[in-house]
Amino acid sequence: MEVSKKRHIAKTISYRVISTAIGIIVVWGVSGSVKIGTAFGIAELVYKPIQYYIHERVWYKWIKYGLTNKK
């Protein structure tokens, strides 16, 4: 089975939505400020999708850990 880059992008987007929402809620809860929570969420939205996509592609392309050949 071949995995397309679109799959990696879709996984990145779904992961970011969930992770950003959790981050906003946690920072809001800790700081008591929705403004700080939202600022944190916006900062995450900028850099983490790029970071995650690169990480996913590196694992897919070069890291063979946990992969087995089909017989």
8-state DSSP, 32: S
More confident residue, 4 or 40: 40
Determine which helix (DSSP H) or strand (DSSP E) holds 57, and give its type and residue range: helix 34-62
pLDDT, tens only, 25-63: 999 999 999 999 999 999 988 888 788 889 989 999 999
Global confidence as pTM: 0.62
Q: How many C-alpha atoms does 37 have within 13 Å on its Cβ side?
A: 16
